Chain A
Amino acid sequence: MSLLDVSNLDVRFALRRGDVKALRDVCFSLDRGERLGIVGESGAGKSVAAFSLLNLIAKPGYIAGGSIRFDGQELIGMSDRGLRKIRGHRISMIFQDPMMTLNPVLTIGEQMVECLKAHRRIGTRDARAISLRKLEQVQIPSPEARLDQYPHELSGGMRQRVIIAIALLLDPDIIIADEPTTALDVTIQAEIMALLLELCEEQNVGLILITHDLGVVSQVTQRMLVMYAGRVIEQGPTREIINDPQHPYTQGLINALPQMATPGSRLNQIPGSMPSLNNLPSGCAFHPRCGFVTRPDGSTRQACHDEVPGFVTSGNCQAACHMVAEMIERERIPAEEQD
């Protein structure tokens, strides 16, 4: 059994004009020490997926169904008291904006000690010693002095290092990182990602990395999920998806990158934009933008308009697409006839 098992997760936002289904039928799992990437454009539901793991969805959002099992315990419906023992302790989080995450009126040291004391019976002196060791691990220069500094005295990259140190403070099993480097410059981003990767490997910590940057995902994670309009549409080993994406949306996303085209030529754009969640197209949510709704022989695949596609397995990857299902079906029949 995996360390974390999410099945059929359903998250909605109750608005006056009715519920908006932010996540539908999301399933994934994470093994101990595994690194998983969640990729998608804004509004795809990747942050909601991460936040709902720790029940951090703010009202009017609520978890409408499904199950989240962590180390044998069910997290949905767990009491706040129970959740607090897991949150920040066994599963910790790194948020996007390092300027917003740290408390501006407390020193770095106070924030770290506070976090340790909330979860363990520990004296201030010991807590400071642990904090110092963690700051050393994230390679902050002169860590001792940093303990008594305020967040505004540190640069963006340095602050994100402090946040990683806080995330690692209680030796968690899983770190959820929501766009941890989006607010940073490229050279700093490269350093922070390398550091995060190194620490996760060294301490066998699982990582759920949420990002829109396919380059980062391909370098850091072992498996990835691609999300579109609140659903997972493709999942599998990162290398295999990057090299041979099955779902037309994943293909479009990868082919739209400037580095996939010859310089100066037209980029392969996906037409249109992501539908709004309260007005989703029928059937496959991607069908109005998809180039494969019409078969090569000119006939229309009606299922794309009518039915929500289920997952089909192709190699080690799974994709939710009628076109892929049809192709697999077609390959299988001749093979059976030959037998």
Chain B
Amino acid sequence: MSSTATSPAPEQAQPLLSLRGLEKRFSLSGDFLEQLKFKGGKLVREQEHVHAINGVDLDIQRGEALCVVGESGCGKSTVARTVMGLITPTAGEIRYDGERIDDRTTKELLPYRRRMQMIFQNPYASLNPRMTIQQTLEEPIRLHHPDWSPQRVKDQVAEVMTSVGIAPDWGARYGHEFSGGQRQRIAIARALAVDPEFIVADEPISALDVSIQAQVLNLLMEAQQQRNLTYLFITHDLAVVEHFGTRVAVMYLGRVCEVAPTATLFATPRHPYTQALMSAIPRLEDDRPQHIRLQGEVPTPVNLPSGCVFHGRCPHANERCRVEVPTLIATDEGGQVACHGVEEGRI
């Protein structure tokens, strides 16, 4: 990780996006007056927070598809939204192509917004129902290229519609006239319309049927090859990760517990949580699932466990895990894992 500090380096060394110590807390307590409570005859101010992400360090290199996996509530979508600037982080920094972007104003962010685009989960909610497809796709181009002639804008829309497999003469239709798969294609077209280099996709296929999922995944992979895109791909589906991702980050309760190249992670998962997650995938081959049963359920992110956030459910936890927060350490296989057990050679 320290290698990123060496400056005028070749493309490989400078990550396209890097997150350092990223944290986001959401207040549960409402405004100032609602936080005031009477306790033992005194007026005290009490605040409760959801700790959505707690110190995430991640680097994304140009041209790769980094997948973030984890169960609901682990903070993977919050990471995606924070990267896009839709949520301001509580602490930590986000660097895009070497420049810090998390402390900029909306206006200063505009040139970055052209270079990074987002695809959302639900294509039924992400398209404005009162705009035609043509209007939906023209809007981002007009915003980022105010100097373009109307004809040039139209050409760009036609080009991007063709590339996602939607006939350009359907532009006059509204979102509700399309099926879920087609809508997701349109949402992808909107992201591609301004020729971005980096795309954040938050569960882009989980609302779709199996046969349509394959179509959309193929489209995303084609777009990556043709346009040399970099992806931050958020998903809970490990089968998709194995197919699509070049690297995988596994998150649990707002922390990254393991990062590794996809093949490595699937061959030799090191973190006990990753191992349990892998064993839970329903496979076609084996008749009887031999999954690792975890004790209990994911704790609430309101009161985080001390030490390693996973210790309460981990079969290998000891005293050190209950007290000390593990940090990411490099493994022999080329990944990073945050686990005292792996560090000590117990697991």
Seen from chain A, the residues whose Cβ lies within 8 Å of a Cβ on chain B are 41-42, 155, 157-158, 185-191, 193-194, 212-216, 218-219, 239, 242, 252-254, 256-259, 261, 263-264, 266-271, 273-274
Given A157-B297, A158-B297, A263-B242, CB of A218 within 8 Å of CB of B282: yes
Q: Nearest A residue to B263 by beta-carbon distance?
A: A263
Set of chain B residues within 8 Å of A188, measured between Cβ atoms? 71, 297
Q: Is the CB of A273 within 8 A of B211?
A: yes
Q: What would 8 A/B residue contacts be, using CB atoms closer than 8 Å?
A: A155-B297, A157-B297, A158-B297, A186-B280, A212-B210, A256-B211, A257-B210, A263-B242
Distance of A266 Cα from B220 Cα, bound (Å): 10
Set of chain B residues within 8 Å of A253, measured between Cβ atoms? 210-211
Set of chain A residues within 8 Å of B130, measured between Cβ atoms? none
Set of chain A residues within 8 Å of B293, measured between Cβ atoms? 191, 194
Q: How far is the CB of B117 from chain A (nearest CB, A)?
A: 23
Given A258-B244, A270-B214, A273-B179, CB of A187 within 8 Å of CB of B282: no
Distance of A239 Cα from B244 Cα, bound (Å): 27
Q: Is the CB of B297 within 8 A of A215?
A: no
Q: Is the CB of B209 within 8 A of A212?
A: yes
Q: Nearest A residue to B70 by beta-carbon distance?
A: A185
Q: How far is the CB of A116 from chain B (nearest CB, A)?
A: 28
Q: Is the CB of B284 within 8 A of A257?
A: yes
Q: Is the CB of B289 within 8 A of A259?
A: no
Seen from chain B, the residues whose Cβ lies within 8 Å of a Cβ on chain A are 71-72, 179, 181-182, 209-215, 217-218, 221, 236, 238-240, 242-244, 262-263, 276-277, 279-284, 286-289, 291, 293-294, 297-298
Given A190-B291, A194-B289, CB of A261 within 8 Å of CB of B277: no
Complex partner residue of A42 from B209, B281, B284, CB under 8 angstroms? B209
Q: How far is the CB of B275 from chain A (nearest CB, A)?
A: 11
Q: Is the CB of A41 within 8 A of B263?
A: no
Distance of A212 Cα from B205 Cα, bound (Å): 14
Q: Is the CB of B284 within 8 A of A41?
A: no
Q: How far is the CB of B286 from chain A (nearest CB, A)?
A: 7
Q: Nearest B residue to A258 by beta-carbon distance?
A: B243
- In the complex, besides A191-B293, A263-B242, 12 extra interface pairs with C-beta distance below 8 angstroms are A157-B297, A185-B72, A186-B238, A186-B280, A213-B282, A218-B284, A257-B239, A264-B244, A266-B221, A269-B215, A270-B211, A273-B181
Q: Is the CB of B72 within 8 A of A258?
A: no
Most buried by B among A186, A254, A267, A273: A186
